Amino acid sequence: TTLLGYAKIPDPDYLIAITRAYNNYVYEEWLKFNPRFKSVALMPMMDVDESIKEMRRCVTELGYKGVFLSAVGFGLLGEKRYDPFYAEAEKLGTAVVVHGGHATAESQRYTKFIQRHTIGFPVSNMMQMMHMTYEGVYEKFPTLRVGYLEAGCTWVPYLLNRMDEEWEKRGEFETPNCKKLPSEYIKGGNVFIHAEPGEELIPEVIRVMGTNRLFYASDWPHWDNEYPESLYHIWERSDLTEEQKKGILRDNALEMYDMKNGS
């Protein structure tokens, strides 16, 4: 929880050190003692070369199942400087997860946490999904698996419609690395979205995205999480099929983290 703001650390050496220390801590305290525990590793994306080294170490030596990027603090994640990182993640077969944050400019800083928390997380993930799609991340790395965390899922259909409309009008000139409708990358590719149990429009998102792209997250250990009750909130919904519920609660996360074979 404390390290959710790690991307705002201005000192690159300190950022590299603290992410490596955190990844070591999780391995030493959890991963090496019980194979049921899985984790994603923090990446110091201010330094792409160091991030690639740390990703290799965490995935190949420590058994991490993915890498964690903050949606706020590392600029726009579709920038070309990040291409070598995505190429290595695709080569390793590891998931890249993007976690929402408070994405308001200094001149528009909200004065209350409820205001930042309401709008910041979905907006920051929308910014990154849009940029990564337009700049060709999903075109250049077609087997790269990417998840967008802690922003809900009901913003996705709106953004896909918006991106498609803009691409049809301006894409040929402004987004040369986006070769097809943006929604085709998101709906037909390897992009996964965290769904909040109480979102009323989950069935509509499934209609747009497909059955196998939404996954559950408990938000533990934050004080405002509803685990384990949130599991039942999904399982007892009458507007989802049993297959859709199993997908959200289990199968889709296993696919995102490449764990369907039990690894």
pLDDT tens string 35-89: 899 999 999 999 999 999 999 999 999 999 999 999 999 999 999 999 999 999 9
- If you count them, how many residues does the chain have? 263
**What kind and span of H or E run contains 92?**
helix 83-92
Q: What are phi and psi of 196, to 5 degrees?
A: -80, 135
Instruction: Give residue 108's pLDDT.
Output: 59
pTM listed for this prediction: 0.94
Give residue 162's identity as a one-letter amino acid code. R
Pairing of strands 95-99, 66-70: parallel
Distance CA 149, CA 129 (A): 11
Q: Which DSSP category does 150 fall into?
A: S
Contacts of 125 (CB under 8 A, 6+ apart): 71, 98, 100, 148, 149, 151, 155
Q: How confident is the model at residue 189 (pLDDT cuts 50, 70, 90)?
A: confident
Distance CA 241, CA 247 (A): 10
CA nearest to 101, candidates 82, 116, 79: 116
Question: Considering the chain, what is the average pLDDT of its residues?
Answer: 93
How confident is the model over 165-179, as a mean pLDDT? 96
Domains of the chain as residue ranges with CATH: 2-256 (3.20.20.140)
Residue 241 has a CB neighbour count (10 Å cut-off) of 12
Comparison of pLDDT for 101 and 86, the residue scoring more: 86
Residue 221 clears pLDDT 80, i.e. is over it: no
Instruction: Give residue 5's pLDDT.
Output: 82
Q: Work out the angle at residue 117's Cα, subtended by the Cα atoms of residues 116 and 121, and round it to the nearest 5 degrees.
A: 100
**What kind and span of H or E run contains 155?**
helix 155-174
